[in-house]
Structure 1
Amino acid sequence: MKRKSCLMSSSISDSLSPSVSKRAKEGKANISSGLEHLWSLFPTQVFLLPPIALRHQLYSLHTDRTAVDRQVEALRESGVVRLLKLGASEEDYCLIRSQQYCDYLQSCLGEGGLGTKVTESLLKNCHDVSVTNERLTELKFSNEDISGLVSRGVLLVRDVDTGRSWWCGVPGVSPFIRSLTRGRSMLQQIIGRSRFKEMLRRDVLSKRMTVSKLPIEYHIHDLVGGDLLERVETTSGDLLRLTDATH
């Protein structure tokens, strides 16, 4: 398949304009290395998806959440990453490299027709996490096109009452969501059964996750960033403790 570029560059560090780059480096956090780390943990061959990082996982790597949110927005506005809804019924948002998302949609939808329309029109002109019917009409998408994108999971219903706005989603993401939610629950149970509902991180990493195809470290970032686990530094190493939100 001939690769069609949806953006000028897929490199986080090199793709930002001077003004956006300045905004992305404001605050104490610089999320580029954090994103690369989270993407490296994602088992692409297992789920047949591009590397996915959850937005809140970045909070496990940086304490300044305002700075993280600011940098995510800067990267999204620049077209380097896509901020996407993980699922219609999920509260989580995920981050995928824009070029990889473009390539993935092209492989799902095929070249020509709707696939080309999405990669050459929608992705190049809409960098937001959602899109309205009016905007899709402006971009020459018919009702049939929209229905096709909904059935394939590219668009998710945002406004249930009117059906006139859509979240941008990831086709074929359901197996990942199942592993994420099951692993999240199992890890909470493992730590919850320990004394004082806390465990050293190294001991948690030695556990086997039988219900999830994601690495335990990915789940740790999910739970810490989602405020379901608290990380405490000790002389014996990082301690992971269940928070009040999980009780």
Structure 2
Amino acid sequence: MALRRAVQDDDVESQQATKDDESYAVGQVTIRVPLDCRPLPLLAVIVSFLPWAVPVALIADIALERRAISLFAFTAILVTSLVCEWGLKPLIGEPRPPTSACRTEDGKLLPGMPSGHVMMCQSMLIFYMLESIHHHALMVAVLLILAMPAMPWARWYNGDHTVKQVVVTFLAASLVGLVDYLIFLVLFQDSSGTFGQHVREVRREERIGVTRALLADLGPPGVIPVPFLPSTA
């Protein structure tokens, strides 16, 4: 993990620094040394690290509770992250602001459109907001809505993305979260169950279908064909 100086922008409080300050990237989050312990700069850094805790929490829930929704959410995060990091960012090629320490070894700014942090958080917030509404947990839905601006603000305030990058990603991620939830409803109509239960229910439906087909072949009730029985006519 190399230490790299980042050009600072005096328009943002968290990015004000002296020429002796150094900055480096940890998990695509710019850390400035000495650490600015004022409330807003510190909050921006802390919020920027929250996305790394989400997959860990989902994996733990999958292992312990085997919830179908956690398995789907983790898969959605994995797919979305791969598309962002290996597809969209290199394709769009829009660099991060000069205040970011997310750079290549030769000091070139890494692409910042779309913001992976904002994409993951906003899509999951939309996803779980819709799930909360579906189960009439309106207070939870309201809290999730109130939390939505936090990640775009943190990524901009910490100097890792421009306003344009976080706003565009916020809008795109909202659509991604909606699509994710629609797919989830198609695959798992009962989101309260586990993925093991879902598999068992599918197999049960298959067995019921086979049984009905066999009964249909036997004909109406009380009429059971007997093969090779000579006709009495």
Q: What TM-score do you get using the length of structure 2 for normalisation? A: 0.30
Task: Specify the structure having the higher radius of gyration (Cα).
Answer: 2
Task: Decide which structure has greater strand share.
Answer: 1
Q: What TM-score do you get using the length of structure 1 for normalisation? A: 0.29
Structure number with higher relative contact order (C-alpha < 8 Å, ≥ 6 residues apart) = 2
Task: Decide which structure has greater helix share.
Answer: 2
